[in-house]
Amino acid sequence: MKDSDAVYIENLTKKFGHFTAVDRISLAVRTGEIFGFLGANGAGKTTAIRMLCGLLLPTSGNGRVAGYDILTQSELIKRAIGYMSQKFSLYPDLTGRENVSFYGAAYGLGKSAIRDRLEILSDRLQLREFLDRPTASLPIGWRQRLALAVAILHRPRIIFLDEPTGGVDPVFRRRFWSILYELAEEDVTIFVTTHYMDEAEYCGRISIMHQGRIIEVGKPRDMITQHQAHNLEELFVDLIKGQDQADA
Ligand SMILES: Nc1ncnc2c1ncn2[C@@H]1O[C@H](COP(=O)(O)OP(=O)(O)OP(=O)(O)O)[C@@H](O)[C@H]1O
Ligand SMILES: [Mg+2]
């Protein structure tokens, strides 16, 4: 691994009983990179991300995130990263402001630091008018933007976003991605999953995962050219189909 790697994993594996959800995946993601972690439903993306975030112990393999060992330094990893989970990243019955206060305290930020940071993020993510409504009542686009604000509250250098734009309309998705670009320009590393192929094309590099394995890694354009596909969607479908046939 290089010092400039934000994420480095080697043969990372997670088994649930006899079932292998993540099967010997290896990757290196550079600092400031926008890395798209793609794959079919059930491929193992969320399981892999939970291991990277220090929330789930691997069965085997090793790796480092933000310079910390995922096997022995998960508490340090949790503090160094931001994480937006696929399902429950905010408390639905709390307002945006209350969610921010709760998570800010959990990250160890003091009251005035939370207030200052919320000021900045409210402007940057245009959240102000939605902060005092229960999160459950917000349209999903706003909710996800708020969840991003919470994930970057403590200024993490790496953020893991697990399908942050699922169910979000195209206009909101554009805006969300322009915020991700701004973060990447500040050298924040972004590790993101998506099922939207237009978003995958915004990534510097992507990997494609299938049944626990990474079957392809590279720049979206290079992959399309190499496989003589018309676009990423066609490439994705062909790769998964090809893999299913090879496995049969
Ligand atoms: N705690 C668990 N116990 C048993 N099996 C699990 C557990 N967590 C996940 N799995 C299984 O591991 C596989 C990978 O699941 P995972 O949620 O990581 O996939 P994913 O790539 O995130 O899918 P999606 O795109 O639908 O979010 C699935 O077959 C899932 O049912
Ligand atoms: Mg998932």
Q: CATH number, domain at 103? A: 3.40.50.300
> How far away, in angstroms, is 86 Cα from ligand 2 center?
6
> How far away, in angstroms, is 138 Cα from ligand 2 center?
23
AA identity, residue 27: L
Q: Of the bound ligands, which one is closest to the alpha carbon of residue 44?
A: 1
Residue 131 CB partners (closer than 8 Å, separation 6+): 95, 96, 97, 100, 118, 122, 146
Residue 20 backbone zone (phi > 0: left; psi -120 to 50: alpha; other: beta): beta
Task: Provide block-wise average pLDDT over 10 residues at a time, the chain (248 residues).
Answer: 85 97 98 96 96 96 96 94 87 94 92 94 90 92 92 95 92 92 95 95 96 96 94 92 82
Q: Which residue's CA is minimally distant from atom 9 of ligand 1?
A: 47
The whole-number pLDDT of residue 1 equals 65
Residue with tokens 């921010």: 100
Quick check: CB of 85 below 6 Å from ligand 1? no
Total of domains in the chain: 1
The whole-number pLDDT of residue 40 equals 92
What are the angstrom distances between the C-alpha of 85 and each of 50, 52, 178? 9, 12, 20
Residue with tokens 């402007």: 123
State the distance between the two ends of the chain, measured CA to CA, in whole angstroms.
Answer: 35
The two three-digit tokens of residue 53, written as one number: 């975030």
The Cα–Cα gap between 248 and 211 comes to: 13
The whole-number pLDDT of residue 132 equals 94
The whole-number pLDDT of residue 68 equals 96
Parent domain of 165: 5-247
The whole-number pLDDT of residue 112 equals 95
In this structure, what DSSP letter does residue 29 have?
Answer: E
CB neighbours (10 Å) of residue 209? 24
Question: Bridge-partner residues for 189, per DSSP?
Answer: 158
pTM: 0.95
